[in-house]
Amino acid sequence: MIFLTNYLTIRIPNVMLYLEAKEQEQHLIPLFCCPPWAMGEMLLFRCKLGVLQYTVIRPIISSITLICEMVGVYDEGKFGFSNARTYLVIINNLSELFAMYCLLLFYTVLKEELSPIKPVGKFLCVKLVAFVLFWQAVLIALLVKVGVISEKHTWEWQSAEAVAMGLQDFIICLEMFLVAIAHYHFFSYKPYIREAEEGSCFDSFMAMWDVSDITDDISDQIIHMGSTMRGYQKKKMFS
């Protein structure tokens, strides 16, 4: 989202005014029945907020996962409502789905303006991996659940859960090879050669750890939400 907005800012001085001048965009499937977000500030704000919520929820889910694993209630490789993993996976993927929806909606509105940087390929390289990893993990867990992968259909020194985890890890290794090829094609280094020559390796290394763009965006969204809520309360009082 930051990549797209930064690119648009360079080409379009005021993105919000530009969005207000465009025709109203309706929600995509499966939210096409919901009232559309007004073009302009509301659309930009809600798309940003939808993407940013995942950057907050994901670390929280990861921390809870670590705690659940330590106390023995996570149950990696099992699929059922008696373990914490199922609930954490559902929450995480609902958050991710909404973030991807907001990103897709933003791209749909500005498809022509963003076409020079070919964002679809970049989007699929990053996001398709998450979807494939999740659904194949669900499929393998279901195979364990229905008995296709069971104690009778595995090695004597391995449990069904261990085979499921090993199968998932093996498939990921194969997939990452294909993903690496796709990344090389869609995330070419060539547009950044000049910047790389001007800076040092140490500067690039430190920039890799810089998350100020995310923290600044989260802070801006919180301030915006606060001012929106105050405006809504005042409007409600006067009405």
Q: What residue ranges do the domains of the chain occupy?
A: 1-117
Per-residue confidence in pLDDT tens, the chain, 239 aa: 888 888 888 888 888 888 888 888 888 888 888 888 888 888 888 898 898 899 889 999 999 989 988 888 877 656 667 788 888 888 988 998 899 899 989 998 888 888 888 888 888 887 777 777 778 887 888 887 777 777 675 666 577 777 888 888 888 888 889 888 888 888 887 777 776 677 777 777 887 787 777 777 777 777 766 766 676 666 666 66
CB distance 26 to 108 below 8 Å = no
How far lies 214's CA from each of 48, 63, 78, 102, 146, in Å? 11, 19, 34, 17, 42
Q: How many C-alpha atoms does 46 have within 13 Å on its Cβ side?
A: 15
Give CA–CA dist 109/216, Å, rounded.
Answer: 24
Give CA–CA dist 138/85, Å, rounded.
Answer: 11
